[in-house]
Amino acid sequence: MGAVITGWGKCRPPLSLTNADLESLVDTDDEWILERTGISARGICHLETTDMAEVAARHALAAAGLAATDLDLIVMATVSPEISCPSNACVLQERLGAVNAGAFDLNAACSGFVYGLSTATSLVSSGVAQRVLLVGVEKLHFLIDYRDRNTCVLFGDGAGAVIIENDPRSGGDAPGVLGVDLGADGVAGSTMVIPTLGTRGELSADRDPAQHRLHFEGQAVFKIAVKGMSESVQRALQRAGLTSDDVDVVVPHQANERIIRAATRRLGVDDDRVVVNIETHGNTSAASVPMALCDAVTDGRISPGDVVVFTAFGGGVTWGSVVLRWGDRVTPITTSDVELPAPTVDVYEVLAENRAFFQPLYD
């Protein structure tokens, strides 16, 4: 028994933080950002993590033609949860009315969706679950110092979701997972750190802006990312008995366009087989792969039976790749018109609290 993706959906927040906006917040300019990252704009959410997750999930359920009560399990990948307990997956379960589903959160940073895809497909293939909702979602702007031009130009908010169901077919051309590679290097974990969303340190109502912000070492991350993703894909393809020539579409983590191009060229995969939407989304961590997948399906870039490779790297340091043969359907069974409520504030007002919090670092 195999596991296939039967539904897909995304939530890109309606507010955009453009490069022109950033020029008024930090010492940078559109040309500098675009040349180094490939990003022109990124979504900024005026609501919460679970609000985005719910929108993406409802679109995925509609595409699969399922009700929330059909779900056996909900897995949410995120590093920016609304709360620690209950899990955000449990909050989403209540929102959706998925009363028959188990639920848990998963944290593998930007690799979270790929780790979740490996987990969910394994559970479906083994018969533990029949229908799984997997969501990648992030509200990263909450963690960002918008005076630090090395990080604030990169990250955005968003959510992407898929439905994974069992498929009874077997054999060489059957849809489902063909190969998986997961890995981590805790020694290199200091290159990407969110230090204050845990139990380390003293109980306090106060947060230190010097400690609270995302720590990100760009040059080190670049080298780790290119090597990690390309070698992970090679291992996953080897386990699938395939080569890069057999790959129809690569859906990589949207970290930085230069990283994506360097990694996929190292694999020998042409640019026209690589899905890139970072220009309008930014780096959305665990949400980036499912959001890019949703765009690829919507744009007609994936066909029935295609060999699709998902690959990512993230804090930890983690990396992972899943090679999957797509199922029969690339059109949604039904659609949903659900969306986030329209914001009543502009993007500068949403970011004002961040700016005020980190101001003492620059006084």
Is residue 114 predicted with pLDDT exceeding 90?
yes
CA atoms within 13 A on the CB side of 254: 31
What is the Cα–Cα distance from 18 to 296, expressed in whole angstroms?
23
Is residue 71 predicted with pLDDT exceeding 80?
yes
* Residue carrying structure tokens 């057999």: 246
Average pLDDT over residues 294-312: 97
Contact 229, 263 (CB under 8 A): yes
Helix (H/G/I), strand (E/B), else coil: 113? helix
The pLDDT mean for the chain works out to 91
Residues in the chain: 363
DSSP structure string for 225-242: HHHHHHHHHHHHHHHHT-
Residue 143 pLDDT grade (very low, low, confident, very high; cuts 50, 70, 90): confident
Q: How far is CA 293 from CA 10, 39, 218, 275, 277, in A?
A: 9, 18, 25, 8, 10
The alpha-helical segments, DSSP class H, found in the chain are: 19-23, 30-37, 49-64, 88-96, 112-125, 149-152, 209-212, 218-240, 257-267, 278-281, 288-298, 347-358
Top-confidence residue, 217 or 73: 73
Q: How far is CA 50 from CA 56, 109, 257, in A?
A: 10, 17, 28
Top-confidence residue, 109 or 113: 113
Q: How far is CA 155 from CA 11, 13, 113, 139, 227, in A?
A: 15, 13, 17, 9, 22
pLDDT in tens, 221-261: 677 788 888 999 999 999 999 999 999 999 999 999 999 99
Is residue 11 predicted with pLDDT exceeding 80?
yes
Residue 317 pLDDT grade (very low, low, confident, very high; cuts 50, 70, 90): confident
Give the highest mean pLDDT range of 25-34, 57-66, 194-203, 226-235. Answer: 57-66
* Least reliable range by pLDDT among 38-52, 121-135, 166-180, 241-255: 166-180
DSSP H or E segment with residue 307: strand 307-314
Average pLDDT over residues 319-334: 96
What is the Cα–Cα distance from 260 to 294, expressed in whole angstroms?
18
Residues 6+ apart with CB under 8 A from 163: 5, 6, 7, 8, 60, 61, 63, 64, 66, 131, 132, 133, 134
Residue 302 pLDDT grade (very low, low, confident, very high; cuts 50, 70, 90): very high
Domains identified in the chain and CATH numbers: 2-333+344-361 (3.40.47.10)
Whole-number pLDDT of residue 197: 66
pLDDT in tens, 278-292: 999 999 999 999 999
Contact 16, 44 (CB under 8 A): yes
Contact 311, 40 (CB under 8 A): no
Whole-number pLDDT of residue 336: 97
Whole-number pLDDT of residue 2: 87
Is residue 150 predicted with pLDDT exceeding 90?
no
Name the nearest CA neighbour of 11 among 345, 343, 340, 344.
Answer: 340
Whole-number pLDDT of residue 362: 83
Contact 264, 225 (CB under 8 A): no
Is residue 315 predicted with pLDDT exceeding 90?
no
Whole-number pLDDT of residue 196: 65
pLDDT in tens, 78-108: 999 998 889 999 999 999 999 999 999 999 9
Which positions are annotated as active-site residues?
Answer: 110, 253, 283
What is the Cα–Cα distance from 147 to 358, expressed in whole angstroms?
8
pLDDT in tens, 170-215: 777 889 999 999 999 777 666 666 666 665 566 566 677 666 666 5
Is residue 13 predicted with pLDDT exceeding 80?
yes
Encoded tokens for 278: 């970072």
